[in-house]
């Protein structure tokens, strides 16, 4: 479903399907309104919206509108919605930045496409969330990684959430079976962060965000300092422990008693000496 004439909708309005109090578009007193603000120069009879896929975009016979503002740079007749907040017309690519629709830095729609997962490209730039990828010097080689669209790659870099993995051998890089982890023949990454001093040959995933190689255990990309490998165990809510100490994320919980430390189903943690919240001792009693 694409453009629909606003006048043809029941009561000549489009409401938030989850809240009747929010009216995105309506015709009232001879004007088009968006969320309580009047579009003074729009044409009521020709005004169209896209209720199925974009609640902030409208058009009349003359112009494109984003909320109550006319997008003066956009060509009404060639303007199209690409998804992931990307748009284009015959000359320009656009991105919706929170409360505004603005042209992309490349300033051209030449070979502009939405790659998915927030990534896009044109002849000038690769983009993530509408902003140029800093390390992308060959944008026409940029592709999304189909198995996990938070990743993309070009012929020189791999990107996670728009951040380049450094360093990386693109030709050898691959996703691992466990979400968030990837690597090449010499490195392992969690997200865009490289696990320091990791031994790739012995590295393996343990559970959730934990992994290990023969010398050490990691939470995300942080090694657990001084960890006793033989007695270490994950607990829950990003806590773990060995026979000597307790860890929260990748840091030691100072003063925690490992033998009595527990975490309940709601994430409340403590030991024989009292409560521990977000890895720090509190003044509360034990759980």
The series of mean pLDDT values per 10 residues for the chain, 287 residues long, is: 92 89 94 96 96 94 96 95 94 92 84 94 95 94 95 97 96 94 97 96 94 96 94 93 94 95 92 93 71
The 8-class DSSP code of residue 157 comes to -
3-state SS, residue 8:
helix
**pLDDT score for 285:** 66
The half-sphere exposure of 135 on its side-chain side, counting CA atoms within 13 A, is 16
d(CA 171, CA 61): 50
Instruction: Give the residue from 239, 184, 232 showing the smallest Cα distance to 209.
Output: 239
User: What burial class does residue 283 get, using C-beta atoms within 10 Å of its C-beta: 0-12 exposed, 13-18 middle, 19+ buried?
Assistant: exposed
**pLDDT score for 286:** 59
**pLDDT score for 106:** 84
**pLDDT score for 117:** 96
Q: What DSSP assignment string belongs to 75-128?
A: -TTT-EEEETTEEE-SS-EEEEETTEEEE-TT---TT-EEEETTEEE-SS-EEE
CA 7 to chain centre: 36
């Amino acid at each position: 479903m694409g453009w629909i004439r606003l006048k043809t909708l029941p009561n000549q309005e489009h409401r938030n399907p989850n809240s009747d109090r929010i009216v995105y578009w309506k015709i009232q007193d001879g004007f088009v309104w968006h969320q309580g603000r009047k579009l003074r120069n729009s044409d009521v009879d020709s005004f169209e919206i896209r209720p199925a896929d974009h609640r902030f975009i409208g058009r009349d016979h003359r112009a494109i509108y984003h909320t109550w503002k006319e997008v003066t740079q956009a060509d009404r007749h060639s303007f199209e919605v690409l998804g992931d907040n990307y748009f284009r017309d015959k000359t320009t690519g656009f991105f919706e930045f929170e409360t505004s629709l603005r042209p992309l830095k490349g300033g051209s729609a030449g070979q502009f496409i939405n790659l998915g997962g927030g990534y896009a490209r044109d002849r000038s730039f690769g983009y993530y969330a509408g902003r140029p990828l800093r390390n992308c010097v060959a944008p026409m080689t940029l592709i999304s990684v189909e198995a996990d669209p938070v990743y993309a790659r070009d012929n020189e870099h791999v990107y996670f959430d728009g951040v380049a993995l450094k360093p990386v051998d693109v030709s050898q890089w691959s996703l691992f079976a466990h979400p968030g982890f990837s690597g090449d023949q010499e490195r392992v990454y969690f997200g865009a962060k490289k696990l320091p001093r990791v031994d790739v040959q012995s590295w393996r995933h343990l559970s959730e965000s934990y992994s290990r190689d023969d010398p050490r255990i990691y939470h995300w990309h942080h090694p657990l300092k001084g960890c006793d490998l033989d007695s270490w165990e994950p607990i829950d809510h990003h806590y773990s422990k060995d026979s000597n100490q307790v860890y929260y994320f990748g840091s030691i919980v100072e003063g925690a008693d490992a033998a009595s430390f527990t975490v309940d189903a709601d994430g409340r943690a403590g030991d024989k000496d009292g409560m521990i919240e977000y890895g720090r001792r509190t003044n509360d009693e034990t759980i």
